[in-house]
Amino acid sequence: MVSVVVSLVLIFSTLIVFIYIVHWRIFEKAGRPGWEAIIPVYNTFIMMKIIGKPWWWILLLCIPFVNIIFAIIAVNMLSKSFGKDEGFTVGLLLLGIVFYPLLAFGDAKYIGPYGDPAAFAAAQQPDFDFDSPKQKHS
């Protein structure tokens, strides 16, 4: 019985280390320091930056059922940020143990949020100015 527990602990520990290595590499490809991938919660904040989403999306990931939708969108945005299509997103969602290492160690290059810097810039909300347009008050 003890050997089964030790084996399971060893397997899960190896899997966790592998996941951290993969995320470390994805962060480095996106131009971020790899160590940011190993800090819980902070790594999610940085991932939102990598995919071009605001920090408050982390709060949406804490709401039951809503988190599923936003997690799928976030994975799709991650895929697009590395120039991959929706088919790769499906792979990330269903076979993450295969597709995340492909993203991390394959030939994928980080091309920016949305996978298109121009589309990302167009999707950003412009600065809002309460004084513009100027209106004359009588």
- Give the span between the Cα atoms of 34 and 28, in whole angstroms: 5
For the cut 70, the answer to whether the pLDDT of residue 130 exceeds it is no
Domain ranges of the chain: 2-123
For the cut 90, the answer to whether the pLDDT of residue 97 exceeds it is yes
**Alpha helices by DSSP H, 30-131:** 42-51, 57-60, 66-81, 86-94, 96-105, 117-123
| Average pLDDT taken over every residue of the chain | 88
Q: Which pLDDT belongs to residue 114? A: 75
Q: Which pLDDT belongs to residue 11? A: 96
Q: Per the omega criterion (within 30 degrees of 0), is the bond before 64 cis?
A: no
- Give the span between the Cα atoms of 64 and 84, in whole angstroms: 28
For the cut 80, the answer to whether the pLDDT of residue 76 exceeds it is yes
Question: H or E segment at 15?
Answer: helix 2-29
Region 22-48: mean pLDDT is 95
Q: Which pLDDT belongs to residue 104? A: 96
For the cut 80, the answer to whether the pLDDT of residue 57 exceeds it is yes
pLDDT digits (tens, 9 = 90+) for 14-29: 999 999 999 999 999 9
- Give the span between the Cα atoms of 71 and 58, in whole angstroms: 10
For the cut 90, the answer to whether the pLDDT of residue 5 exceeds it is yes
Single pTM value for the model: 0.80
For the cut 80, the answer to whether the pLDDT of residue 33 exceeds it is yes
| Contact yes or no for 58/40 (Cβ under 8 A) | no
- Give the span between the Cα atoms of 74 and 47, in whole angstroms: 9
Region 53-64: mean pLDDT is 93
